[in-house]
């Protein structure tokens, strides 16, 4: 059993960059720098031998030298079946490649903190489906981490952002445009409760698409001049990609940039202005805008109803994105949040809230609240000597007053609405935040309709607040059935081939009875995003219960083999 102050690593496993954080014993989340001393680590792996690889900055350098042994953007393939990459005769699944990145993070954290780190909370884009979430969890397992939970990136970002703003009632839009994924989430902070109202996104849209536009633009110009396409060769392509990436970054602060191309002895310098770049990527920005509008519509909100807009992910540094949101929301996006770090910070906080209920900082906070409440009472008594006969009820420790929290949470971060003065001596603590997620994909069941054709019925719609319980009755489709099978589906669609079957529960050994015999099905979806399915035969009371967990596609056997292989792998 983990001790209460044992570290929970919050990991933002990104498409292009990863970051990690932990909550120190005073309740303050901190980014853990990697062995190279940077806040973020590139999610790039270079395999240089059968059992050796480099992760991070060094691997990026190898991209031009050894392009066929370097993996980037593996996150885009998480949860994809049949996707393996071959290095030195061994096939690597996306889980295994991600595991190598996670292992590097874990080892760097251990080195920096000087303690063993086992438990972790890993974030995923809100729009990830269960296979992608499952694959992420599997990657953690392979890396030797005990993955306590998988949480949504916008939720994590909102925790990090909202912690010093708890108290009131605020509506928050989290716009998360990372290297390879994109999602928009509307959240509500009410007291210490953080609720996801609506979410949507695109797991195939990210900064990489902006880079590609730039790359294609440059390659086409080069081709026009020399009839040579630098994209045709791996190493020149990678070199050009790096240059385009740098040009994109500098265009965020400068008005113009130049991209030098050098391929097969031909040289060319392609100048590009920010306006040109924005023109090239206009439709991508429109795509973002559409998604944001859809989410607001789902949340039944208007732009002016939002209190804050939070930009997360490195790609939101592009002026076209912040301008877009400013023009949509009518006010500048929230400041003081580092888009690269807040997800990891939030993840570490979520780890403490969920899995370390007795973390010293939380305890300190509670204690302070109790003493604070006593103090308030005393003061009240002093001011108004017993005007009421009934004693005032003690404040609920889970729903503390705004002022109390603001004061208690490390003086410097105060943002509460209270008029109280900060206490003299510095105090440390962490208020407990309750996280209410919502389902990002509808969950359903396969049934036979009146024409005995298979149809998918949605039982838990998208955007349902979790935990959630659904109870429903179904009936025998045929006479004399002796077994019923519940097929749990995920995704939008009425036909079976439009959705994914994520699990099956079979109730067997039933007595044969006529058509229409009732069968009860209960879906319970928990905060840990695990679906519990119960199938009950109403007449006999016979029942079967099963847990549907996200499956990343690897069997237990494959996982254990992968784990032993990874253990022997040299990760630099």
What residues make contact with other proteins under the rule CB under 8 A?
67-70, 72-73, 80, 82-86, 208, 212, 215-216, 219, 229, 231-232, 234, 237-238, 241
Between 76 and 366, CB nearer to other proteins: 76
What is the rounded CA–CA span in Å between residue 486 and residue 406? 49
Q: Is the dihedral of CA 540, 544, 545, 548 positive or negative?
A: negative
Q: What is the sign, positive or negative, of the torsion defined by CA atoms of 327, 284, 19, 175?
A: positive
Question: 466 and 527 in contact (C-beta within 8 Å)?
Answer: yes
Which of 11, 75, 79 lies closest to 44 in space, CA to CA? 75
* Cβ proximity to other proteins, 118 vs 262, nearer residue: 262
| Distance in Å, CB of 267 to other proteins, minimum | 21
Shortest Å distance, C-beta 564 to other proteins: 24
- Count the helix, strand and coil residues of the chain and give each as a percent rounded to the nearest 5: 35, 30, 35
Nearest-angstrom CA–CA distance, 436 and 197:
9
Residue placing its CB nearer to other proteins in the complex, 87 or 525: 87
CB nearer to other proteins: pick between 38 and 83:
83
Q: Which is nearer to other proteins, 73 or 470 (CB)?
A: 73
In the complex, minimum distance from the CB of residue 233 to other proteins, in angstroms, rounded to a whole number: 9
Q: Which is nearer to other proteins, 83 or 474 (CB)?
A: 83
- Which residue intervals of 85-200 are DSSP H helices? 94-113, 130-142, 153-162
For 22, the enclosing helix (H) or strand (E) is strand 17-23
Identify which of residues 129 and 322 has a Cβ nearer to other proteins in the complex.
129
CB of 318 to other proteins, least distance (A): 18
**Closest approach of Cβ 421 to other proteins, in Å?**
55
Q: What are phi and psi of 183, to 5 degrees?
A: -150, 155
Question: Taking the complex as a whole, how short is the minimal distance between the CB of residue 234 and other proteins, in angstroms?
Answer: 4
**Main-chain dihedrals φ then ψ at residue 338, nearest 5 degrees:** -85, 115
Locus of tokens 């009425």: 494
| Nearer of residues 162 and 236 to other proteins, judged by Cβ | 236
Residue 444: phi and psi, rounded to 5, are -145, -170
Give the residue with the Cβ less far from other proteins, 69 or 315: 69
Q: Considering beta carbons, is residue 88 or 506 the nearer one to other proteins?
A: 88
CA 170, 23, 129: angle at the middle one, nearest 5?
Answer: 65
Question: Cβ 85 to other proteins, closest distance in Å?
Answer: 5
Find the shortest distance in angstroms from Cβ 216 to other proteins.
6
How does DSSP assign 360-410, residue by residue?
A: HHHHHHHHHHHHHHHHHHHHHHHHS-S--SSPPPPPPTTS--HHHHHHHS-
Give least dist CB 24 to other proteins, A: 37
**Tokens found for residue 330:** 């009518």
Smallest gap from Cβ 3 to other proteins, in A, equals 43
What are φ and ψ of residue 349, in 5° steps?
-65, -45
| Placement of tokens 């003493």 in the chain | 371
- Report how far apart, in Å, the C-alpha atoms of 118 and of each of 24, 115, 216, 299, 353 are: 16, 10, 43, 37, 17
């Amino acid at each position: 059993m983990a001790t209460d102050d044992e570290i929970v690593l919050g990991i933002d496993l990104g498409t292009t960059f990863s970051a990690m954080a932990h909550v120190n014993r005073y309740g303050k989340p901190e980014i853990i720098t990697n062995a190279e001393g940077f806040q973020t680590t590139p999610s790039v792996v270079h395999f240089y031998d059968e059992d050796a690889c480099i992760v991070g900055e060094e691997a990026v350098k190898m991209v031009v030298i050894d392009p066929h042994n370097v993996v980037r953007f593996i996150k885009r393939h998480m949860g994809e079946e049949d996707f393996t990459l071959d290095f030195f005769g061994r096939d690597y699944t996306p889980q295994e490649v991600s595991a190598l990145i996670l292992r590097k993070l874990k080892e760097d954290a251990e080195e920096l903190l000087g303690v063993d780190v086992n438990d972790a909370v890993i974030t995923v884009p809100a729009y990830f489906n269960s296979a992608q979430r499952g694959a992420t969890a599997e990657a953690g397992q392979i890396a030797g981490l005990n993955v306590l939970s998988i949480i949504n990136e916008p939720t994590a970002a909102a925790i990090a952002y909202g912690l010093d703003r708890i108290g009131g009632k605020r509506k928050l839009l989290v716009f998360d445009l990372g290297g390879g994924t994109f999602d928009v989430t509307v959240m509500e902070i009410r007291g210490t409760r953080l609720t996801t109202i609506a979410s949507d996104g695109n797991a195939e849209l990210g900064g990489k698409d902006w880079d590609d536009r730039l790359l294609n633009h440059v390659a086409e110009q080069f081709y026009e001049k020399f009839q040579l396409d630098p994209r045709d060769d791996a190493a020149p392509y990678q070199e050009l990609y790096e240059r385009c990436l740098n040009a994109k970054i500098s265009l965020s602060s400068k008005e113009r940039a130049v991209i030098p191309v050098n391929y097969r002895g031909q040289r060319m310098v392609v100048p590009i202005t920010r306006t040109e770049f924005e023109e090239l990527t206009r439709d991508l920005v429109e795509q973002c805008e559409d998604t944001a509008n859809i989410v607001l519509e789902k949340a039944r909100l208007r732009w002016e109803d939002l209190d804050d807009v939070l930009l997360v992910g490195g790609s939101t540094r592009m002026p076209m994105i912040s301008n877009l949101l400013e023009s949509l929301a009518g006010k500048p996006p929230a400041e003081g949040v580092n888009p690269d770090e807040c997800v990891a910070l939030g993840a570490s906080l979520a780890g403490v809230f969920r899995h370390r209920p007795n973390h010293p900082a939380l305890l300190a906070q509670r204690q302070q609240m109790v003493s604070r409440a006593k103090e308030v009472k005393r003061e009240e008594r002093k001011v108004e000597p017993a005007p009421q006969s009934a004693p005032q009820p003690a404040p609920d420790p889970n729903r503390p007053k705004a002022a109390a929290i603001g004061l208690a949470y490390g003086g410097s971060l105060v943002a509460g609405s209270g008029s109280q003065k900060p206490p003299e001596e510095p105090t440390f603590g962490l208020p407990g935040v309750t996280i209410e997620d919502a389902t990002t994909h509808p969950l359903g069941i396969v049934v036979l309709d009146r024409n005995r054709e298979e149809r998918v019925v949605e039982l838990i719609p998208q955007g349902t607040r979790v935990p959630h319980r659904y109870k429903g009755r179904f009936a025998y489709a045929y006479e004399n059935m002796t077994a019923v099978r519940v097929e749990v589906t995920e995704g939008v669609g009425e036909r079976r081939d439009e959705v994914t079957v994520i699990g099956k529960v079979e109730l067997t050994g039933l007595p044969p009875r006529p058509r229409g015999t009732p069968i009860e099905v209960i879906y319970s979806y928990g905060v840990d995003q695990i679906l519990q399915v119960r199938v009950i035969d109403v007449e006999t009371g016979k029942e079967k219960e099963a847990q549907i967990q996200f499956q990343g596609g690897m069997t237990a056997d494959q996982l254990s083999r992968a784990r032993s292989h990874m253990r022997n792998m040299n990760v630099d």
